[in-house]
Structure 1
Amino acid sequence: MHDSPLSASPYEVLGVAAGVSDEELRKAYRRMLRVTHPDTGGDPARFDAVQRAWVLVGTSTARAAYDRGGSARNGAASASHVWTAQPSAPRRDSRPTARSHGHPGGWSRERYLVLMREWVGRGRTLSDPYDPALVRSAPRDIRHLLANALAEEATARQVATLGIGFSVWHDVATTAAGPGLPPKLDHIVLGPTGLFALQSEDWGGEVRIKRGDLIGEALAGERPMNDLAARAKSIARAAKVKFTGLMIVVPDAAAPSSLELLGKSRGAVTALVGQSRLPGVLRDGLPGAARIGGTELFEVRTRLQAAVKFL
């Protein structure tokens, strides 16, 4: 149960309303343990989720902290604070970082705030658009925008550590977008290991691979890799460059493994990557993907700089 606007609340996992008494909550926990226990034919993943939910709300102290939007464990910050756009943390070393351009997660956050205000309604005060109770009560499409903003910001923090040999562009405008999808590519990363198009995603659940694309209960028929390939193609044409890798980046818990190769699209290797594995994959390169070096690297960077427009 990673900390996502799309994650089920502990009350939802236990199958009760948030306002139930402590005794009713305890009974629900015991009931769900029996239902989900692997020894009685239950699902091990659901059994683990029930136990994690109980840690969050199983005592009066933990429950009060969770209901306020935080966690009683290890003095964790409130979800509201974590979901708010955070300033860059001060650097602890002097090593050069990757050249970065654009505003990661900016479009998704801006759209989230607009739709949240519309959903709350005119004339109502919205003191904290990231209040956990408010976020959990909002329609899924609004929560998904916030989840994706957080995912894009997390990816940006990861790729910033790659070093001066890499250049990164965030929230790049594109002429290709699927139904209901923003006309942008989340990230472009260029370095000696290749030219990569990255899409940061959080669907609030696990995804699997089928026939070169992703499937999962939370996807609702979307074709993420197909959409990413279309966006990358439009940018490749405009900049006269060729992507060597296309990657969808998801929270570690959402992927079957930290790196899953899906196949190829127009010569580019396609992959599903867990968030924490991303820097290593970009430094080492995707298996089978072409590398870019020497004057070609400089030429590709120059073309992208001239062609890229930000959303």
Structure 2
Amino acid sequence: MFDSPLSASAYEVLQIDADASHEDLRKAYRLRLRQTHPDTGGDAVVFVQVQRAWELVGTVEARAAYDRGHGFADARYAPDGAGGAGGAGAGGAGGAGADASSGWRPRPADTRPRARSFGHPGGWRRERYLTLMREWAGRGTELADPYDPALVRTAPRELKRLLADALAEEASARIIADLGMGYTVWHDVAADPRDAALKLDHIVLGPSGLYAVLSEDFGGPARVRRGELIGDGVTGAPIGDLVAATRAVARAARVRFSGVVVVLPDEDLATAIDEIGKMRGQPVAIVRRSALSTVLRRGLTGARDIGGNELFDVRTRLQSVVRFV
């Protein structure tokens, strides 16, 4: 929250004008606390957002900094703000080197063993964002910085969503990279060569199993109802689409996935890890980003561990069929 292109501002969360007096701001905060408190029927996720909003604008000093733009992690919009996993796959076997449009950068002077990585996390969405941003700005318009926060906030939601999802993929990729050399990850994998939008953000193979991971940012709270994600910013059927893409890759590679994982910003989920059962035979978990490493290390409930020759065989099968969007 608040560092995403889709985020509501602190004032919007508190439901008050940005030029309101400090006393009116305080009254709005107290009202929103009562409205959103879980003990009175409110939403726990929104309740936390209200408290976070107050932290950003609740004092004269904090509010002044926020209004100057310092309350947003704006640097994360730009490619240079996205660190990369680097690793053996950064430039091999279908991967490519660092690319300004993808936002993917290897970490300098970091010699820790990292997951073997292939492909560009968030690269497809960043490229789409840049193309559509230039079209939206108008032919011949000079865009000195397509990631300028002021520009991003005035863009259509579809554009902001592309950038938010690219940032989400990059954030998950950094976490996956830190799992270590026992893991292999493929980013932005095409599930259907005819439809670039049908893809797997990450395929993660390690001792705990083989997992398809979807990294999303809907710009607000999300929850599960009848096996699918719902929320103000949720469109389509994210879990259903993820399972369908996973099954397509599984058939092509002749491998069996241990489960699928949907990763959302911490502030947008009420619980850290929610294993919601199976969809079309695939165990499904909805997790906060901070819990992603835990899930991938321990695996999902009932998932079978993979080791030894089987791990090598699954990696070889995937490597032979994986294509990137």
Query: Is 1:104 aligned to 2:121, yes or no?
Result: yes
Structure 2: tracts of 5 or more residues without a match: 81-104
In the other structure, the counterpart of 2:323 is: 309
In the other structure, the counterpart of 2:56 is: 56
Query: Is 1:89 aligned to 2:107, yes or no?
Result: yes
What secondary structure sits across from 2:283 in the alignment?
Answer: strand
Shift of 1:33: 2.8
- 1:113-147 Cα offsets, whole Å, 9 max, x none, are 11111112223221121222211111111111111
Cα pair 1:185 1:198 within 8 Å, conserved: yes
What secondary structure sits across from 2:267 in the alignment?
Answer: helix
Shift of 1:223: 1.4
CA 11–262 in structure 1, closer or farther in 2 if over 3 Å, else same = same
Query: Is 1:159 aligned to 2:212, yes or no?
Result: no
Query: Is 1:4 aligned to 2:4, yes or no?
Result: yes
Give the TM-score normalised by structure 1.
Answer: 0.86
In the other structure, the counterpart of 2:160 is: 143
The residue type equivalent to 1:209 in the other structure is V
Residue among 299, 303, 320 paired with 1:285 = 299
CA 50–254 in structure 1, closer or farther in 2 if over 3 Å, else same = closer
Cα pair 2:191 2:198 within 8 Å, conserved: yes
In the other structure, the counterpart of 1:74 is: none
For 1:204 and 1:298, how far apart are their aligned partners in 2? Answer: 39
Cα pair 1:196 1:245 within 8 Å, conserved: yes
129-138 or 95-104, which deviates more: 129-138
Cα pair 1:36 1:43 within 8 Å, conserved: no
CA 121–109 in structure 1, closer or farther in 2 if over 3 Å, else same = same
Residue among 234, 239, 248 paired with 1:219 = 234
Shift of 1:83: 1.3
What secondary structure sits across from 2:255 in the alignment?
Answer: coil
Runs ≥4 residues deviating over 6 A = 39-42
In the other structure, the counterpart of 1:75 is: none
Cα pair 2:252 2:321 within 8 Å, conserved: yes
- 1:222-261 Cα offsets, whole Å, 9 max, x none, are 2111100010111111111111111101111112211111
What secondary structure sits across from 1:232 in the alignment?
Answer: helix
For 2:270 and 2:244, how far apart are their aligned partners in 1? Answer: 25
Structure 1: tracts of 5 or more residues without a match: 72-77
- 1:31-90 Cα offsets, whole Å, 9 max, x none, are 41353242996957656544543443456654454344323xxxxxx6332211133333
- Cα RMSD of the aligned pairs, angstroms, is 2.5
What secondary structure sits across from 1:162 in the alignment?
Answer: coil
222-231 or 60-69, which deviates more: 60-69
Query: Is 1:255 aligned to 2:272, yes or no?
Result: no
What secondary structure sits across from 1:190 in the alignment?
Answer: strand
Shift of 1:282: 0.9
In the other structure, the counterpart of 2:151 is: 134
The residue type equivalent to 2:208 in the other structure is T
CA 193–48 in structure 1, closer or farther in 2 if over 3 Å, else same = closer
Give the TM-score normalised by structure 2.
Answer: 0.82
In the other structure, the counterpart of 1:122 is: 139
Percent identical across equivalent pairs?
54
- 1:278-303 Cα offsets, whole Å, 9 max, x none, are 11211111111122222111111111
**Within 5 Å, which residues of 2 pair with 1:201-280?**
201-220=216-235, 222-280=236-294
For 1:267 and 1:14, how far apart are their aligned partners in 2? Answer: 42
The residue type equivalent to 1:191 in the other structure is G
For 2:178 and 2:17, how far apart are their aligned partners in 1? Answer: 43
Shift of 1:101: 0.3
CA 49–234 in structure 1, closer or farther in 2 if over 3 Å, else same = closer
Shift of 1:171: 0.5
Cα pair 2:26 2:58 within 8 Å, conserved: no
The residue type equivalent to 1:135 in the other structure is V
CA 97–281 in structure 1, closer or farther in 2 if over 3 Å, else same = same
What secondary structure sits across from 2:203 in the alignment?
Answer: strand
The residue type equivalent to 1:199 in the other structure is L
